[in-house]
């Protein structure tokens, strides 16, 4: 027998939106949802970029093991299904198994907001790939009815990362002080915001 509570029953919260699993970018590139089949390639691209990433990424103190990378992909798949985080790899549309960088949409900044994170393989920087990927994710996120703002966060010293929101018309909303968590950080975090256009 099912118990039926007395009084009004609260409506279930609305389902959270999911972005497309494949997003075309200019120049024959794309963002695609990462999968378990990416473990080996993803581990390799992180390992060869570890010196490039270490100044800015607290998780890049040392190269991860293949087992760790596989576990991160497994957890990422769960988060995708739960609609809290959407993790992508940057690829050439002609060679979708070769990873050139990583991107993510993260619901970690409170109601109505979603944050974009990204990094590009050092051999492929300087080609606007971070800008194109962030533009595609911004557009996808602002289609979510529950999202009214997209944010990009970067340390004040990370000039290359700050170029991306600036190019995309994000507004520098504020600078927050917080403990530095990676070697090159100042602890002054730039919070860039793009809001949904008024109807």
Q: Give the pLDDT mean for 34-42.
A: 97
Its domain, for residue 37, covers 22-146
Query: String of b and e for 2-40 (b: at least 16 CB within 10 Å)?
Result: eeeeeeeeeeeeeeeeebeeebebeeebbbbbbeeebbe
Which of 7-11, 57-61, 64-68, 102-106 is predicted least confidently? 7-11
Tell me if 193 is assigned to some domain.
Answer: no
Kindly report the pTM of this predicted structure. Answer: 0.91
Q: Is 116 exposed, middle or buried (0-12, 13-18, 19+ CB in 10 A)?
A: buried
pLDDT value, residue 93: 87
pLDDT value, residue 14: 60
Tell me if 50 is assigned to some domain.
Answer: yes
Residue 158: φ, ψ to 5°? -90, 75
Number of domains in the chain: 1
Tell me if 107 is assigned to some domain.
Answer: yes
CATH of the domain at 79: 3.40.630.30
Confidence band for 7, pLDDT divided at 50, 70 and 90: very low
Q: What is the pLDDT of residues 83-94, one digit of tens each?
A: 999 999 999 989
Tell me if 58 is assigned to some domain.
Answer: yes
Confidence band for 194, pLDDT divided at 50, 70 and 90: very high
Tell me if 60 is assigned to some domain.
Answer: yes
């Amino acid at each position: 027998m099912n118990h039926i509570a007395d009084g009004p029953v609260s409506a279930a919260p609305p389902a959270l939106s999911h972005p497309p699993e494949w997003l075309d970018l200019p120049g024959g590139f794309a963002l695609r949802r990462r999968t378990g089949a990416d473990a080996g390639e993803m581990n390799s691209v992180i390992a060869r970029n570890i010196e490039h990433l270490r100044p800015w990424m607290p998780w890049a103190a040392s190269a991860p093991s293949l087992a760790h990378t596989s576990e991160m992909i497994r957890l990422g798949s769960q988060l995708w299904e739960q609609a809290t985080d959407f993790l992508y790899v940057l690829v050439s549309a002609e060679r979708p198994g070769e990873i050139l960088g990583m991107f993510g949409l993260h619901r970690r900044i409170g109601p109505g907001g979603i944050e974009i994170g990204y990094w590009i393989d050092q051999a492929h920087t300087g080609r606007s790939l971070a800008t194109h990927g962030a533009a595609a994710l911004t557009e996808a996120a602002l289609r979510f009815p529950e999202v009214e703002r997209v944010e990009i966060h970067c340390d004040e010293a990370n000039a290359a990362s700050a170029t991306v929101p600036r190019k995309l018309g994000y507004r520098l909303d504020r600078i927050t002080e917080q403990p530095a968590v990676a070697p090159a950080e100042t602890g002054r975090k730039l919070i860039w915001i793009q809001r949904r256009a008024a109807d």
